[in-house]
Every structure is written in structure tokens, then in C-alpha cells.
Structure 1
Amino acid sequence: MDIGIDLGTASILVYVKGKGIVLQEPSVVAMDRSTGKMLAVGEEARRMIGRTPGNIVAIRPLKEGVIADYSTTEIMLKYFLNKIAHSRIFRPRMMICVPAVITTVEKRAVIEAANAAGARQTYLIEEPIAAAIGAGLDISKPFGSMVVDIGGGTTDIAVMSLGGIVCGESLRVAGDKFDDAIVRFVKKEFNLMIGERSAEEVKINVADVFPESDEDKAVSMEVRGRSLISGLPQNVTITAGQTCEALQEPVEQIVNTIYSVLEKTPPELASDISEKGIVMTGGGSLLKGMDKLICRRTGIPVIIAEEAISAVAIGAGKALENLDILGPNAVFTK
């Protein structure tokens, strides 16, 4: 069996040839500190974040797109592979996505973790290439395509042609930094401490980085947390206009990096991109107003991929089926 894996900071998606996306779970593992025993993985473990007693810890083994805790990553991969196929002789070929800017040591850590988890052979592919393939772009032709993949830990921006990346940048500003920005804003504005999950709910439900009218700015939701003044639970209402202010810094970093990549793009490819548009993938691309803001600032049409969240995993699976078409620099196996 051939499988493509989007080994993300926030979640793991697994694509199986002929079946499509078979698994989508948060990349979280709950462990008992005293015994070292695994208690839960995925969605069940995510529900424990911020709610565990002292002896239980919910770990996110990937940070900013790379492995931060090797042994926990191996445990998590093994668990998810067993969930897909219960056979003991299940040893698939794996194509795993990694950020465009990653060291050789970090690449080897991913390959070793995958092999230890049961892979027969492991290939790595850079996220923007996988995202482009998953979004349905034909990058094998001498024609420029630009992809902006905003994940949980990293944002990868790349211009591709002839199966490889012509120019691009990877920055460690993405969904997690959006959550952090909301937490900081609520703390400063309302003297209220909220958790990661509450910040994520605000980001998904009301956050808007390009509100076009007063009506858009007024969209709101109630968020619960602990008052830093009284120390007691408290509810406050946060509006889309306030989230726009809260998210300004990380969003500006992404937009400025897109600008920087466009400036380095050869003129012929830049012409292709202005005609075809910029394709956005990843969960962060669904942040309300992100596409309109990039379009306004660059003057280039922006298209959000149909399967934005799963595009990277789908692309990884399809890349494994078409290894001969990919450029020599697209896949890392050593």
C-alpha cells in the first residue's frame, strides 16, 4: 500500500491510494509522566489539552513543522498506521510532507521515525510541491505556478515550474501564531486569560483579517476565560474588527513574504502567475478575508484550493504514484 502523510504541527492527514483521505486527527499525544505510558492520541488527546492533572501531559510532538519529540512522534505514527490497517505485516511506502526550509538532520529524523513506525520505504516531499499537486496544478510543465500553504506551524510560499521550486520561502508563522496573537490580544484588551482551544474557536468562527463593512466588523462571539484581576471565570464578547487588529502582525509577515517571493520571481513566471493567480492551501487559507487581503495587496487573483485542508496529503499520495514525473530535487530519500 502507498500512503501520503501530511505530518502537520496541528494535525495529521493520511491519504491512501484508491481510498482518498482515510484519517484526519490532531497531532497530539497524552502521556502519563510517571509511567511513560501513552493514554490517548489524536482527537481524544486534544480534548485533554489544558485539562489534565499533574501526572498527565498532552504533548504536541511537532513544532513549527519539524519533529520536536522524536519518540512521541514515532508512537503517534505507529498508532495511526495501526488505525488504518490492523495487519502486522502492513509495511507501506510513505511519502511524507516537510516544510520547504528544513535541515538535513530534521529530514533524517522524519525518515527514521517513519521507518521505525513501520514504513517499508520513506520519501519526503516539500509541502508547497505536494500542495500544488493536491490542488490540481500541473507543475511538470514550463509554466509558473505559485502556491501559498498556510498550515499550523509553517507557511510555505513557492513559485514552481518543471517539477521543482524556482524560488520560495518558508516562515514559521501560521495557524499557531494566529492563536497566540488572539490569546495576547484578549489578555491585553480584557485582562482575561484564555486557552489555546478558545483562541482557535475565535479564529474559526469570527476572525476576519479583511472586514469590508461595519456589519462584518460587528460579527461577534462570547469567549470564556479566567480574569487576571479577580482570578474568577469571566465571559467577554470579541468582535471580528478586534480579531483583525489582533492578527495584524502575523498576517502582515505572511503578506510581506509573498511580496518578497514575487520580487525574486523571473519575469516570465511572474507573468504566468498574474494570469493564473495565486493558489492557497492549508487550514490557514480558510481564515476569513485572507484571500481578499492578498489579492488587494498584490493585485493578483487568489484562488483557495477546493480541498484546501487536505491538499498537501492528497498531493503527497499522488506524488508517490508519479515519482518519475517529479523533478530530481522534489523528493528526498536518503
Structure 2
Amino acid sequence: MEMEIALPQQPKKTSRRLNWKSMYRARWFYIMMVPGLAYYLIFSYLPMGGLVIAFKEYSLLKGVWDSPWVGFDNFRTIFSSPDFFNILKNTLLISFYRIIFGMFPDVLLALMLNEIRVGWFKRFVQTITYGPHFLSWVIVFGIVYAFLTPGSGLLSQLYKSMGWGSVSLMTDQNFFRPLLIISDLWKSTGFGAIIYLAALGSINSELYEAAVVDGASRWRQIWHITLPGIRDVFLLLLILRIGHILDAGFEQVFIFLNARVNEVGDIIDTWVYRRGLEQLEFSISAATGFFKSIVGFILVLGANHISKRFGGSGIW
């Protein structure tokens, strides 16, 4: 009896013509990608060519390409500055406080809103909490100033009327960093909770129904279903925040900063602003930005590796 031997079939090669046809069918999707790609190309990738001034003694008269090369002298100037390690410490502390005290309130608010069953009340709370996100830091500073300004502020007057003497919280070095964190929480917590609410909406409702059948309490459902359901989103946002750990919020700090709290509030970005725009040392500013980018890139790689090592999804 003759036996037939089945030979393995060769995978069919996809023709280029077929690829062009599929691209043509999805042409409108590619067209919609053009504005986003153009934005990043113009404002993110093309400006990278200006990083060469970090290795030059840049002069406005000579331009980028005719300015003389100085190698790593600008970086030596940065690291040898007497203010550098102080502003680095301030930047890391403020960023660390933002991560620790800024991410968990977002999760907590999202969990609380997710438990509200009255529709109109839930929408009302959402509107009240994420409304401050759309205020500029200038307006937020004006509100804080109205409450805490020495002498005429509402809280300052209340403190004085209680017979406790005068208080100047906006110029108190011990209170400046908590002031930054509290005002940032008030402004951004509601908007940050939206991301977690979206993640909560993607959790399969059948998991909760099965938990109810098994007799799980509401707290058990939150612990075993809700929190694991938003874990990947939390890790993703944590990795992104770690990558921006040297960005401590320039706009907020610049507006709130004053001479009396400069020692504890001066960060890398405000220092770069003074050196770059006030003293016109553009090469120093570019070198500092290059240093921040390298550190952020390394931190993102490290945080992503650690996240995947301990069971998280990571960025890629």
C-alpha cells in the first residue's frame, strides 16, 4: 500500500500589490494620522537639531553653526555651579512628593466616584473636582494669595483674630513645599481621576456578579477585582512620572517662588530660566535640558524593566 507523505505547505507571500490595496482602503485613517505626525515632527524632532548648542559657546550674532565648539565645557559649568546640587535636591524632593501624594488621591477619588450610584450627584462631584484643572496657575496663585497673604489674607486674619499673632505662610520655608503639593492636588486630582474612571469602566462586570454570588463584600470586590483592574494603568502613569522626575512643575514653582523661599523652592527649570533668558546663556540651558533628557530616558527604561519583572505590563 502506497503511503502519501504530506509535505509542509509554504506560507503564502503577501504581494506588495495587496499591501498597497489595504493601505488604500485605510487611506482615511492614514490621513487622520498626518496632523499628529506633523505636530511631533515640527515641535519634537526638528528642534533636536538645536541640541548642538549644548556643545558650543552659542552666540546670537554667529548663529548655531558658526558658534565655536567647546565640547563638554558647558556640562562642567553646570556640575561645578555652587547652586546645582541644591536645585537638584529641591527638584527631586518636589517631584518625589508629587508622585507619592499626587497619584494615590487620583485613585481614591476614582474609586469613590465609581461607588456613587446616584447619577446627578456623581456628575456634580466630577464637575466640581476636575473644574480647577482648567484654571491657569496664575489664577490658582491669586486664590492662594487671597487666603495666605500676610496681613490681609483670610486665613492670616483668622489666625490673628484668634490671638495667635501674625503668620506668613507664603514666605515660610517649612510650608512652601507642602503649599506646592496641596495646591497641585486641588488643581489636578479631579482630572487625574478621569483616567482611572475610564480604566474602571473597562473591567468586566461579570467578575463583580460572580463575586456577589460567592458572597464577597464590597471591600473584597474592590481589593480583588477593582484594584487589579487598574494596576496596569497605575504602573503606566507611574513610569511616565518617573521619566519626568526632573520636571518639578516649572510654571507653578516659578509663580509661587519668592526670595525668602528660594533656598527650598528653586528647581532646575527656574535656574535654567534665569541662566538662559535673563543672562542669555543659551548653551548652559541646552546642556541642562540634554542632561534632563538623558536622566529621564534612563529612568523610564529602568522603571519599565522593574515593572515587567514584577508582573506589570510596562510601556512596551
Range of TM-score over shorter length: under 0.3
- TM-score, normalised relative to structure 1: 0.20
Please tell me whether Structure 1 or Structure 2 has the larger radius of gyration of its CA atoms. Answer: 2
Which one has a larger percent helix, Structure 1 or Structure 2? 2
Q: Compare relative contact order (CA 8 Å, sep 6+) and give the higher one, 1 or 2.
A: 2
Which one has a larger percent strand, Structure 1 or Structure 2? 1
